[in-house]
Structure 1
Amino acid sequence: MPESALTVLTVPVFSTLCNEAFRLRRAVFIVEQRVPEEEEFDADDLTAIHVVAIADGEICGTLRIIRDEEHIKIGRVVVAISARGRGVASAMIAYAMALQPQGSNFYLTAQTDKTALYEKFGFIAFGDVFDDGGMPHIAMKTY
């Protein structure tokens, strides 16, 4: 996907674009990956910063950013099936990290088959592999 064809921006919770992002999360995490619905949506969605990627007028990716005292957590990274392998996740992660103050520490939990993506942004895996939503995950952070 040419970079000019992709727009990445933040959207307010429960705006039309954020609701479309929630619909994408439901399609990928709950339907495709069979994550239990009660585990997918939580109270953090109310206060998170929501990022979307738009291509050809459609939401093709989303993630959320949660700030706490220790770090900035990037989570719920999802890309539509039709847009995978086109740099959408990388564009969203770069955008999300650039929004934060320089020197920020970032944290996330990654599906174990996705760690190479996050390593490109300086994330390093730590701890043991654990189950989250029925899939193996590992914690990762930047230093």
Structure 2
Amino acid sequence: MDRSDFTLLAVPIFSPLCNLGFALRREVFVIEQNVPEDLEHDADDMTATHVVGIMDGAVVAVARILFKPEHAKIGRVAIAASHRGKNLGARLIQFALQVAGEQDQPRCYLESQADKTGFYARLGFTAFGDEFMDAGIPHLRMKNY
């Protein structure tokens, strides 16, 4: 598969592509990881910059970026099960970092599921603080600054 046919876009909330991203988040977090549905969406979705990755005619990657005074917070990162292991996650995070930089916010922060910290570390993030539980899943805070 040619990875050059992976398109990354920042999309408006509730646009058709954003809604497909929300559907992917539900598939990954609620169905696969058993996150309670009422925790999957929150008020931050209304103010976030939403990013989707499109491949093979489908939204297969999703993330959101929240702009805070001190940093941009990257979250709700998900890749469709059918498209994992193809380096799409790294490209998604690199795109999110680019979007944050274009908004004059090079400092990024995220809360990684504990078993995914190695992935983010390879992209320049460093874990800090104590492990904590979110939606019943162990997490660690990470930053790139």
TM-score by length of 2: 0.94
SS in 2 for 1:21: helix
Partner residue, 1:34: 34
For structure 1, the 5+ residue unaligned runs are none
How many residue pairs were aligned? 143
The alpha-carbon deviation at position 126 of structure 1 amounts to 0.4
Partner residue, 1:89: 89
Partner residue, 1:135: 137
Partners of 2:108 and 2:144 within 8 A in 1:
yes
Aligned mates of 2:140, 2:93 — CA distance in 1: 17
| Identical counterparts, % of pairs | 50
Aligned mates of 2:139, 2:100 — CA distance in 1: 25
Partner residue, 2:47: 47
SS in 2 for 1:122: coil
The alpha-carbon deviation at position 120 of structure 1 amounts to 1.7
Partner residue, 2:106: 104
The alpha-carbon deviation at position 2 of structure 1 amounts to 2.8
The alpha-carbon deviation at position 111 of structure 1 amounts to 0.6
TM-score by length of 1: 0.96
Partner residue, 1:58: 58
SS in 1 for 2:70: coil
SS in 2 for 1:70: coil
Aligned mates of 2:134, 2:33 — CA distance in 1: 11
SS in 2 for 1:100: helix
Match of 2:119 among 100, 117, 130: 117
Question: What one-letter code is carried by the residue in structure 2 that aligns with 1:31?
Answer: I
Question: What one-letter code is carried by the residue in structure 2 that aligns with 1:122?
Answer: G
Which deviations, in whole Å up to 9, do the C-alpha atoms of 1:33-60 show, x marking residues without a partner?
0001111100110110000010011000
The alpha-carbon deviation at position 89 of structure 1 amounts to 0.9
Pairing 1:78–2:86 present: no
Q: RMSD across aligned C-alpha pairs, in angstroms?
A: 1.2
Pairing 1:16–2:53 present: no
For structure 2, the 5+ residue unaligned runs are none
Question: What one-letter code is carried by the residue in structure 1 that aligns with 2:28?
Answer: V
Aligned mates of 1:44, 1:19 — CA distance in 2: 15
The alpha-carbon deviation at position 100 of structure 1 amounts to 2.3
Question: What one-letter code is carried by the residue in structure 1 that aligns with 2:19?
Answer: N
Question: What one-letter code is carried by the residue in structure 2 that aligns with 1:35?
Answer: V
